[in-house]
A and B are shown apart, each in its own frame.
Chain A
Amino acid sequence: MIAQEQKPMEEILGYLEGKKNIVVMGCGGCATFYHTGDKKAVDDLAAKLESAGKAVTKISMPLGMQACDTEKSGMYLDKNRKEVENCDALLLMSCGDGVQVVTEYTDDEMGLAKNVYPANDAIGLVGGGPFKFKETCQSCGMCELGKTAGICPLTACGKGLMNGPCGGVRVDNKCEIDEKKDCAWVKIYERMEKLGELDDFMSMRDAHEWGKCKRPRLFELEEPMTMMDMMGAMMNFNTVTGYTSLMLAKKPEKEKEEEKA
């Protein structure tokens, strides 16, 4: 998922200076998981904008209705066409994908010229949870994990080195940039040692082929997902148990104490 956090209010209000009628639109995808685009987040931000003198129209999107999906966000924008037409700006509580899909839709499909501002900062593709997440993949288009014991050095190493560790590793094997982060290359060494692959560690990995990542990358699906596919994918016992365990997840006491301290 794409982790994200809400921008500071000063920045958001800066974008909206001189603008009265605002459409605040959420996202039922990743932003909902990170509390930055669900119904409550939309309500909270709308309330703050109202107290700053704005007239707000709220568009909440339920779970599974992602702002980055043109069909879905288009459906919600069309439903609120009048408000969108009359607004001075839209504020998107999603990652940058959502913001740009909505920009393109209002431009090309609705024939409107509207400012669409981001309310969130996307932090990256992350794994982990339910409380702590870590950026582990940058979708570079040329996966190197097969050469690095399953740890991506382009992402997990602060410098993105293909042949580490660098000389800046801290005494506790943390990264020179941030004492909270582990040195990825020490971890790769330790995994390779366990796997009996230290000879591979000592061999040079070629420089990453950035030529495989020509931005913006385009992607086509021959057969898009149908409603039936989606129902089939969601109606599964494991989905229910997965969400149940997420609901029951509790933050470990030790971490709570650390946060208080």
Chain B
Amino acid sequence: MPDGIYSQMMKELSEGKYVFTGELEPEKAGNVDEPIQAAKDMIGLVTACNVTDNPQSFAYVSSLAAAYKIQLETGMECVYQLRCSDRNRMALLSDVLGAGTLGLTSILALAGDHVALGDTPDAKPVFDLDSTTLIHMIRKMVDEGKDLAGNEIEDPPKLHVGGAAAPGAAHLKAEVAKVKRKIKVGVEYIQTQVIYYPDILDKFFKELGPVDVPILVGIYPAKSFGAAKFFDEYVAGVDVPPDYLANMKKTKEIKDKEKRKEEVDRVNLEFFIDFLEYLKGTPSAGCHMMAVGYPRIVGPLKKVME
């Protein structure tokens, strides 16, 4: 790999390849068997997979442990998601050093949902850092070998740091200003929150203007109507299109399990093939497919871009 590039994802992005990433979700369990299987199913289809960190503030297996184990057992490059909701700057630093030690090469730095939205609402929310100061801290650790307080780090970690963006944000100008702030502090790639509407994504790219940082656009092909509905109702800042939801709802009426699966795939392909065709004409550098628990859809979707 070229000097200063530590991950396959960053290598491909720097070469201008259109990069696909997937998403794996550890659960409230004593193992990560399911995401390991999903990672195996997506080998060769995506360059890397994000491993979620307590999504929607539901407390699950540590994303650090899960990312390490999945990468070790499957060979799938894991993007370690790290939220500020549950850790102060010391714990974040320890986890970043831990990630480097375990051979993880990319971190997605997130503020994270408020704990009040999740399954442990009486927890004390931390947010000692925010996504921007976390990105800044990681860059400082990697580039200068120092922590936020200026303490030296022996053998600094070698990893990349990414950030999120919300193209569907209600206040687009404030959101874009925040994204530019992340770029200013040295974010290396951006993976967006899920977006369903081309016109809204166009506005986001227009407001942002040309930037040097690769942007992977987030999509969410849902494995079932329930998953799509949950996303619509509980994921902050995301609205699922009513037509897509209605079509997914109809699949519930199919009694035969296999036929229902086929219909779910058909609805997803119908919606997302059009969306991916549209993505070809945008400044996006890749697509982040958050098809959690639904690896079988990744292959057929990816074909569109070939």
Do A and B assemble together?
yes
What CA separation (Å) do A168 and B89 show in the bound complex? 22
**Nearest CB to that of A161 among chain B residues?**
B130
- Give chain A residues whose Cβ lies under 8 Å from the Cβ of B111: 159, 161, 166-167
- A183–B177 CA distance with the chains assembled, in angstroms: 15
Please tell me which stretch of B168-176, B221-229, B246-254 contacts chain A, meaning at least 4 of its Cβ atoms lie within 8 angstroms of it. B168-176
Q: Which of A163, A172, A189 has the most CB of B within 10 A?
A: A163
Give the one of B128, B165, B193 with max A CB within 10 A: B128
Q: A165-B171, A176-B114 are in contact. Are A159 and B130 (CB under 8 A)?
A: yes
Decide yes or no: A165 and B116 within 8 Å by CB, A170-B170, A186-B171, A207-B89 being known contacts: no
Cα distance A173–B173 in the bound complex, in angstroms: 12
Say yes or no: A165 contacts B114, CB within 8 Å.
no
Interface SS, A side: loop
| Contact call B133/A163, Cβ cutoff below 8 A | yes
B contact residues around A176 at 8 Å (CB): 113-114, 117, 236-237
Q: Does B132 contact A (CB under 8 A)?
A: yes
In the complex, A170 Cα to B236 Cα: how many Å? 7
Stretch from A61-69, A80-88, A196-204 forming part of the interface with B = A196-204
A171/B170 in contact, CB under 8 A? yes
A167 touches B177 (CB 8 A): no
Point out the residues of chain A lying under 8 angstroms from B173, CB to CB. Answer: 189, 193
Q: How many A-B residue pairs have CB under 8 A?
A: 103
Answer whether residue B283 sits at the interface, using C-beta atoms and an 8 A cutoff.
Answer: no
Given contacts A170-B170, A189-B173, A207-B89, contact A163 B178 (CB under 8 A): yes
Chain A 152-185 residues near chain B, CB threshold 8 A: 158-173, 176-177, 183, 185
> Which residue of chain A has the shortest Cβ distance to B236 in the bound complex?
A168
- Is A206 an interface residue when CB atoms closer than 8 A count as contact? yes
Q: A219 in the interface, Cβ–Cβ < 8 Å?
A: no
B181 touches A173 (CB 8 A): no
- CB contacts (< 8 Å) of B178 on chain A: these are 163-165, 185
Q: Given A171-B170, A172-B170, A207-B148, are A165 and B175 neighbors across the interface (CB < 8 Å)?
A: yes
Q: How far apart sit A208 and B85, CA to CA, in the bound complex (Å)?
A: 15
B127 part of interface (Cβ distance < 8 Å): yes
Report the nearest A residue to B178, measured CB to CB.
A165
Contact B164 A167 (CB under 8 A): yes
Q: When chains A and B are docked, how far (Å) is the Cα of A111 from the Cα of B171?
A: 60
Chain A residue contacts of B12, Cβ below 8 A = none
Question: How many angstroms between the C-alpha atoms of A11 and B140 in the bound complex?
Answer: 50
Contact B181 A203 (CB under 8 A): yes
Instruction: Output the nearest chain B residue to A160 by Cβ-Cβ distance.
Output: B127
* CB atoms of B175 and A158 under 8 A apart: no
Can you name 27 A-B pairs with beta carbons within 8 Å? A158-B116, A161-B127, A163-B131, A165-B175, A166-B130, A166-B131, A166-B236, A167-B111, A167-B164, A167-B165, A167-B169, A167-B175, A169-B237, A170-B236, A171-B239, A176-B114, A176-B236, A177-B114, A177-B116, A185-B178, A186-B171, A186-B174, A201-B177, A202-B177, A203-B184, A204-B133, A206-B133
Give me the interface of B with A, judged by CB distance under 8 Å. 85, 89, 111, 113-114, 116-117, 125, 127-133, 136, 148, 164-166, 169-171, 173-175, 177-178, 180-181, 184-185, 193, 236-237, 239
Please provide the 10 A-B residue pairs with the shortest distance between their CB atoms, ordered closest to farther.
Answer: A168-B236, A163-B132, A189-B174, A167-B166, A176-B236, A161-B130, A159-B127, A207-B133, A186-B171, A163-B130
Given A167-B165, A176-B236, A207-B148, 12 additional A-B pairs, CB 8 A? A158-B116, A160-B127, A161-B127, A162-B130, A162-B133, A167-B169, A167-B175, A167-B193, A177-B117, A198-B177, A203-B181, A207-B89
